[in-house]
Structure 1
Amino acid sequence: MSDIYEVLEVIKERHWREKHEENKEEYQRDPSCLRCYGINEIKIDKWFEGFWKIFQKVILEAMGYNRNTYAKLLEYIVLTRKSGEERYPSSKKKRDKEFEKIMKEGEKLLDIVVVSIRYRNKPDLKEEGIKSVIKIICEHYMFDEEDKLIINERETEENLLGNKELIRWGSIITDDELDIRFTRFGEWLAEKESVEIKDKGYDTMRYLKTILHLEEEGDIIKEENREIVKKFQKSITYQWWD
């Protein structure tokens, strides 16, 4: 959020001026506007109260939410709920394709959730970091027998505050996301180098996750980080085509 905070502040001020002071027909949209997306018309359920309580303990700068936050977060939780064969077809290719579709839809919802929240100051985490916090919290939601959302706040808070990946990198890469990236890497090898991945080692995915984080920070090209790339390459067993 620290990477887009100033932009959102400009959007907020412009929206207020154009929409609520000058009453223009065409105006800057602001997903965080409390007047446009007030919460008086909706009931805030306990599942969201639990989310907000945990979220504010991690993102100390978060000070307010609106109807966008509530509605889009609920959509995200329902979308990403894993329910057996409905979410995971038997074919890995179909499973990956289905997850990619869910992931893209989920990212769009999280984009709205993040910018719909009002922050008193610039958060320490970047936008992807705040998305990661939301993802970790949402992973702990369950549906009870009456299909109502429930969450163990204490357990979720402990897992979130103790998440080593989030602490180290400021964001997380889920196992499902990592699998997709590895599959894409394999497809790229097959297309560009005529090489097939036969097997991967015990540490392959750990190396890949580190590489992706370094890439996100723009540090992968540094000399001291080349060793992790070599380790990743050597951890894979290749099948060369004749």
Structure 2
Amino acid sequence: MKIKIMVAAHKEFPMPKNKDLYMPVLVGATKNYKEGINYQRDDEGKNISLKNPNFNELTAVYWAWKNLDADAIGLVHYRRLFSKGGKRELDNILNKEQIEQLLDKAPIVLPKKRKYYIESNYSHYVHAHPEEPLAVTRDVIAENYPRYLDAFDQVMHKTSAHMFNMFIMKKKEFNQYSEWLFDVLFKVEDRIDISEYSVQDARVFGFLAERLMDVWIICNEKKFVESKWIQIGDRKLVPKAINFLKRKFITNSEKRTHF
């Protein structure tokens, strides 16, 4: 089985040693290109590289959908990768044999769910980002993919989700997911104005996609397996927790919850 796991990066960073399995991809290559970074560029062939400030790692997903030939395709991040568990080190990530074993069980591999406990997926999103894109996403799904609407509402009410836009999928499932995901996101893009968004909030389509993975999985009753994952380097958990509390109780205190 030919498996390609893209490692999305916007700068040079230590990469997995198995170059046949792991493919470093320079996302937003047109803007982020620097001499000496010998990664696959996301601006070759048919691409949306220029949309990287708003689509994040999804520009690598789009590039792979349109240009990459493999039996299974995956996406991880330069600091966040599927692992065997244990130490947060590059020599502890999944190898080809382990990935094949997972794909023998199901055509889709996802990271273990992130649990919010006191937050729903909806409230967690609106406490961190402008609400409008999420509401427009629901409208787009209702109008264009009505059979997905119940799954969307289910996911919004849940307190856990498969996050990070990380996955490994057999080619059939990857093509199906990409076709649906980008059609939804491009339709949302046509309806919202993000010109006044902060740099962080302007990454909106990557954030939306994190919530749409489970919608697609549930609606299509796709079989999947979960894998442990590790984050290389400092996770900065305390600052993240402080920022979360500020967003929840101060910045976004007047936002409504209706899903």
| TM class by smaller structure | under 0.3
Larger helix fraction of residues: 1
Larger strand fraction of residues: 2
TM-score by length of 1: 0.25
For CA contacts below 8 A with separation 6 or more, give which structure has more relative contact order: 2
